[in-house]
């Protein structure tokens, strides 16, 4: 059987490197292009080991032909599958670009559906692209989905703040917040797990992907991340998708859907952890704020993503505390009022909110006292 060609956008990151690993294990796929940001060492290793002919990134590699942009990379390679795993608004742009050059998009960049869901879905339809989620919970729901769904539960780990006494949370630093209890991921999504902005984004992602009303999407904490998703059917049946937390499983599924080719680890039934715990409002204020105030308003969704990216960078550089990060997100998003009518508006608003976030960071001037 002929191999399918794949381009991995964000190949040097957590999802990107795990995609390379999956492809090396399952066979049937050939990497014809990668994009990366600054990590020349890892990019060199991938291009060298897998004889990747084309790449695009911030630096020249020892092998392969350098393309000047993701657009050129995709145009030259025209791959069967694109795996889009660049975080943030740059990832959103890459996901849109992918739709012009492939028939299957394995989408990790959930920000695409958060910032531009309606525009993106329209273009997916127009281009006839197969959109398969890589996000573990959405991969789980896709596998459980059927006609008579009454509601779903998305599970969360609770992130690094889950077991921290509440009066200590505001003063946590990057080292503590980057200690995710169950997953090893990029820095932005790991901080987003702690604020549960990640889960807020995933609620929007599920709403957009599965056309479910928000009132039918619940969130609960499963501390081990063993349960990935739950679907209630109208006849009372409950379907649970579970397994050890390993992103290579949903990545492989997005590549081979509807088949399964990946040989994963079979969990011991004695390790089953089916606990579903409440998401406390005073531990995760941004999550609850977002559910109440942003999910139905595209401009606020774009705003939250933009300010979140800016404040996370400031937090990781130890310019602001975790408490200030949370406060700034809410303050900036509250002040946004903008009518988003098309895709250009999405990127214009994104820039505007980044400026607002920077002004706010200047105003607060950095860390609150411990």
- Provide the annotated binding site for 1-deoxy-D-xylulose 5-phosphate: 110, 136-137, 157, 180, 193, 198-199, 202
* Lookup: tokens for 357: 């976030």
Integer Cα distance of 125 and 259 in angstroms: 23
For residue 330, count CB atoms less than 10 angstroms from its CB and return exposed for 0-12, middle for 13-18, buried for 19 or more: middle
19, 136, 195, 299: which one contacts ligand DXP (CB under 6 A)? 136
For residues 37 and 117, which CB has a smaller minimum distance to ligand NDP in the complex? 37
In the list ligand NDP, Mn ion, ligand DXP, none, the entry touching 193 (Cβ below 5 to 8 angstroms by class) is ligand DXP
> Residues 87, 158, 223, 290: which binds ligand NDP (CB under 6 A)?
87
Pick 56 or 140: Cβ nearer ligand DXP = 140
183 binds ligand DXP (CB under 6 A): yes
192 binds Mn ion (CB under 5 A): no
Contacts of 247 (CB under 8 A, 6+ apart): 14, 15, 18, 134, 136, 183, 185
- Applying CB under 5 A, which of residues 135, 324, 327, 360 lies at the interface with Mn ion? 135
Which residue, among 303, 316, 296, has the nearest Cα to 191 in the 3D structure?
316
Q: How far apart are CA 95 and CA 119, in angstroms?
A: 12
Among Mn ion, ligand NDP, ligand DXP, none, partner that 199 touches (CB below 5 to 8 angstroms by kind) = ligand DXP
| Strands 54-56 and 65-66, sheet pairing | parallel
Token pair, residue 325, equals: 């990060």
Give the C-alpha distances (Å, rounded to integers) separating 126 from 57, 120, 129, 142, 283. Answer: 29, 10, 8, 22, 42
Residue 290's binding partner, choosing from Mn ion, ligand NDP, ligand DXP, none, with beta-carbon cut-off 5 to 8 A by kind?
none
Stretch that binds ligand NDP, among 10-18, 44-52, 295-303, 354-362 (CB under 6 A): 10-18
Q: Which is nearer to ligand DXP, 35 or 193 (CB)?
A: 193
């Amino acid at each position: 059987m002929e191999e399918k060609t794949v381009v991995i956008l964000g190949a040097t990151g957590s999802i990107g490197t795990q995609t390379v690993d999956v492809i090396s294990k399952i066979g049937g796929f050939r990497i014809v292009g990668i994009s990366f940001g600054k990590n020349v060492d890892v990019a060199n290793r991938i291009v060298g080991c897998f004889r990747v002919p084309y790449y695009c990134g911030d630096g020249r590699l020892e092998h392969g032909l350098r393309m000047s942009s993701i657009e050129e990379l995709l145009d030259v390679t025209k791959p069967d599958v694109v795996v889009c795993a660049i975080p943030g608004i740059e990832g959103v742009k890459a996901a849109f670009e992918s739709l012009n050059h492939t028939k299957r998009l394995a989408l990790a960049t959930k920000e695409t559906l958060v910032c531009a869901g309606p525009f993106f879905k329209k273009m997916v339809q127009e281009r006839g692209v197969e959109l398969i989620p890589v996000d573990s919970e959405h991969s789980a729901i896709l596998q459980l989905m059927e006609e008579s769904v009454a509601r779903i539960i998305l599970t969360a780990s609770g992130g690094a703040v889950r077991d921290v006494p509440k009066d200590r949370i505001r003063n946590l630093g990057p080292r503590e917040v980057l200690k995710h209890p169950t997953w090893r991921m990029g820095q932005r999504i790991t901080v987003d797990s702690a604020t549960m902005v990640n889960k807020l984004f995933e609620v929007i992602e599920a709403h957009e992907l599965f056309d479910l009303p928000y009132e039918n999407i619940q969130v609960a904490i499963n501390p081990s991340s063993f349960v990935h998703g739950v679907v209630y059917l109208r006849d009372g049946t409950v379907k649970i998708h579970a397994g050890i937390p390993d992103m290579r499983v949903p990545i492989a599924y997005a590549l081979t859907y509807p088949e399964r080719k990946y040989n994963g680890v079979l969990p011991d039934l004695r390790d089953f952890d089916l606990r579903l715990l409440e998401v406390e409002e005073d531990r995760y204020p941004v999550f609850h704020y977002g559910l109440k105030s942003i999910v139905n308003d595209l401009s606020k969704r774009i705003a939250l993503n933009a300010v979140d990216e800016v404040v996370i960078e400031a937090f990781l550089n130890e310019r602001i505390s975790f408490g200030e990060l949370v406060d700034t997100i809410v303050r900036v998003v509250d002040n946004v009022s903008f009518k988003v009518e098309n895709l250009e508006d999405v990127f214009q608003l994104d820039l505007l909110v980044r400026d607002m976030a920077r002004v706010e960071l200047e105003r607060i001037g950095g860390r609150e006292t411990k």
